[in-house]
Chains A and B, each alone.
Chain A
Amino acid sequence: MHKEAAIREPLILGHKTYHDITEDVCRPIEDKAPRMWYILFGIALIIGLYGVGCILYLLGTGIGVWGLNKTVGWAWDITNFVWWVGIGHAGTLISAVLLLFRQKWRMAINRSAEAMTIFAVFMAGMFPLIHMGRLWVGYWTLPLPNQFGSLWVNFNSPLLWDVFAISTYLSVSLIFWYIGLIPDFATIRDRAKKPVAKKMYSILSFGWSGRAKHWNRFELVSLVLAGLATPLVFSVHSIVSFDFATSVIPGWHTTIFPPYFVAGAVFSGFAMVQTLMLIMRKAMSLEAYIHTKHVEYMNIVIMVTGSIVGTAYITELFISWYSGVEYEGYAFMNRATGPYWWAYWSMMTCNVISPQLMWFKKLRRSLLFTFIISIVVNIGMWFERYVIIVTSLHRDYLPSSWSMHFPSHIDIGVYVGTIGLFFVFFLLFARYFPVLALNEVKTILKSSGESFKNAPDHGHTTNESH
């Protein structure tokens, strides 16, 4: 059996048995939903439907309804796209990278973080599609020969790389998530009393049996998928950053972008996980499984990635001066002191200063403080993308075409709408899906459960090597 040092904090608090874990995770699914769930779901649905309305209006009228102009041709849409993709990075990072590093604490949060990833990537994927204006020709991004000749899509373009990267990321995350869900759906299926629920979970669980051979395959498939998903996570946000880095716009044309975007994505993704987990653990009484230690671990990741992002900001600033390229130098001067100075300084405050507070143990173990910082970080990361995109574009090479970007109410409606839709999906997930990876949490009960760790004679002195 796997042994763990006694001084490590237990990952599962209290005196839990295997059956208790099943009960704790299945109870919210089997019980009636609390009133609060209906209230939140209603609010999210209304906001989401408003967003859908804005999108339909946009598609019917054209993207002129956004606040774009000749100089600022990319603004909120791509900002939201990058923001959502960034948020969508934590899930796969938690389940894949932390699996490869054998971090057991991931097991309490990986399921819901992956769900968050998938829903966030849904939201992200919508923006490039609606930015086409003509959604119905979206399939032109696929490598199909043009019907008017033999012109193909351009494989040299980072925008096409993005099509492949995002769709691969979405589908691979989806199967990774679902393969982990199958055994847990089987648990719910075998407990279900109501015929409709039994039938539904029976279909979802694919007839899972839990045979030793199947578990053997399950573990290998999880490991190989983690191995594949790890470089995938890094590639996706690198490719998103190529959309900017391969262009010749001052402020975008930087080789630092790929690592800087990946760190930023992990940073904002973990912040979103914190926001969601802190509410979820309370609402679904999962305090024994997701507790201060988990929050602390995640805060350390936020602190490290926040520091990488901060270093990148300062490097960028330094190089713009050191390079001697006056356009580059002006782009950065304009960011910090131009008409969008407030966006730049909000970004600096939220992303560079706030994560540094996590050096204090008291603060990074405080749930309230973490919750506030997690929201601050996500605001900061939205501003980061806004700063990179809008402030680099709005004053181009030709001062006569300098302009400002002001969002229209459709810009705002679509963005807020995606937040609503995201929560609609996430609330449905929390209501009908096992939010904790049951089969994984059970494997660590004996090595990291409080009652087993602290018991002096828990009787299992077998020493197999693993």
Chain B
Amino acid sequence: MADKVIYAMYGDEEVLKDGAKKLVSRGVKINEVFSPFPIHGIDPIIGIKNTRLGIMAFLYGLTGLTLATIGMRYMMVVDWPMNIGGKPNFSYMQNILAFIPITFEFTVLCAAHGMAISYLLRNKTLPGMPAQNPDPRTTDDKFVMEIRLSENDKFSADELTAMLNETGLIELDQKDIK
């Protein structure tokens, strides 16, 4: 479906935030905000929910913990109870102190890597992906608000432009996308 996108560029994150608040209170749906650094407090304004990657990290950590326990129990107790100084590993629980360091390391390893991979996949940022920001200046010192016409049926392009012009923007751009 053909769609029209309006990009409003700001020179300051506070101005963008105030502008976004005004627009949202009038019922405009802001699709996206691009910024060179995290703007604190923008997420609730434009309706972005908090990420659940933290829960994922916890689950990956649990996986690591389980794998380390199962693996070490199999290797050190079941498959080949190693006899060191006449003290063989007969049960995992009796020797658990010796297994704590690796259990911890493996938990951290799985949690950190699992979360990092999920993060990159969810963001769709992978090696060699083309840049997705609308203007190269958004990684330097400019802040861009993206509004899609298809998501704002109540307003015409001109009405939106008029509203945006009151918010202290520095540049306005319109694009047709497929």
Does A39 touch B at the CB level, under 8 Å?
no
Chain B residues within an 8 Å CB radius of A443: 37-38, 40
CA distance A310 to B111 in the complex (A): 36
Residue B123 at the A interface, CB < 8 A? yes
List B residues 91-135 near A (Cβ within 8 Å): 95, 98-99, 101-102, 104-106, 108-109, 111-113, 115-116, 119-120, 122-133
Task: Count residues on chain A whose CB falls below 8 Å from chain B CBs.
Answer: 70
- Across the interface, A171 reaches (CB within 8 A) one of B40, B89, B109, B133, namely B109
Q: List B residues 21-63 near A (Cβ within 8 Å).
A: 32-43, 46, 48, 50-51, 53-54, 57, 61
Question: Contacts A224-B57, A225-B115: A462 and B18 contacting too (C-beta < 8 A)?
Answer: yes
Q: Does A402 contact B (CB under 8 A)?
A: no
Say whether A190 contacts B116, CB under 8 Å: no
Residues of A within 8 A of B98 (CB): 155-156
In chain A, what residue has the closest Cβ to B119?
A: A221
Chain A, residues 360-389, CB within 8 Å of chain B (1/0): the string is 000000000000000000000000000000
**A299: CB under 8 A from chain B?**
no
Interface flags for A205-242 (1: CB within 8 Å of B; 0: not) read: 11111111111111111001100110110010001001
* B132 x A207 contact (CB < 8 A): yes
B27 smallest CB distance to A (angstroms): 19
Beta-carbon nearest neighbor of B145 in chain A: A212
Nearest chain B CB to A175's CB is how many angstroms away? Answer: 5
B54 to chain A, nearest CB (A): 6
Indicate whether B174 reaches chain A with its CB closer than 8 angstroms.
Answer: no
Check if A156 sits within 8 Å of B43, measured CB to CB: no
Q: Does A442 contact B (CB under 8 A)?
A: yes
Q: What residues of chain B lie closer than 8 Å to A316, measured between beta carbons?
A: none
**CA gap between A51 and B173 in the complex, in Å:** 57
Pairwise interchain contact B75-A143, C-beta atoms closer than 8 A: yes
A-B contact count (CB 8 A): 211
Closest to A213 in B: B48
The CA-CA distance from A191 to B36 in the complex, in Å, is 13
Q: Tell me whether B155 is interfacial, beta carbon within 8 Å.
A: no
With A18-B140, A160-B102, A186-B139 as given contacts, are A439 and B108 in contact (CB-CB < 8 Å)?
A: no
Asked if A313 lies at the interface with its beta carbon under 8 angstroms from chain B, I say no
Within the complex, what minimum Cβ distance (angstroms) separates A387 from chain B? 26
Does residue A168 face the partner (Cβ distance < 8 Å to B)? yes
- B102, A206: Cβ atoms closer than 8 Å: no
- The answer to whether A161 and B108 touch across the interface, beta carbons within 8 angstroms, is no
- Most central of B39, B61, B75 by chain A CB within 10 Å: B75
Per the bound structure, the CA–CA distance linking A215 and B42 in Å amounts to 10
Are A202 and B38 touching (Cβ within 8 A)? no
Most buried by B among A215, A228, A443: A215
Name which residue of chain B comes closest to A217, CB basis. Answer: B51
Binding site for A on B (CB under 8 A): 14, 17-18, 32-43, 46, 48, 50-51, 53-54, 57, 61, 71-72, 75-76, 79-80, 82, 84, 89, 95, 98-99, 101-102, 104-106, 108-109, 111-113, 115-116, 119-120, 122-133, 136-141
10 pairs, A vs B, C-beta closer than 8 Å = A155-B72, A158-B101, A161-B101, A171-B109, A208-B132, A219-B38, A224-B111, A225-B116, A443-B37, A466-B40
Q: A22-B36, A190-B131, A208-B131 are in contact. List 20 more A-B contacts (CB 8 A).
A: A143-B71, A153-B75, A165-B101, A168-B106, A182-B125, A186-B131, A186-B139, A207-B131, A208-B133, A210-B34, A211-B34, A212-B39, A212-B43, A216-B50, A221-B115, A221-B119, A225-B112, A232-B108, A239-B101, A438-B37
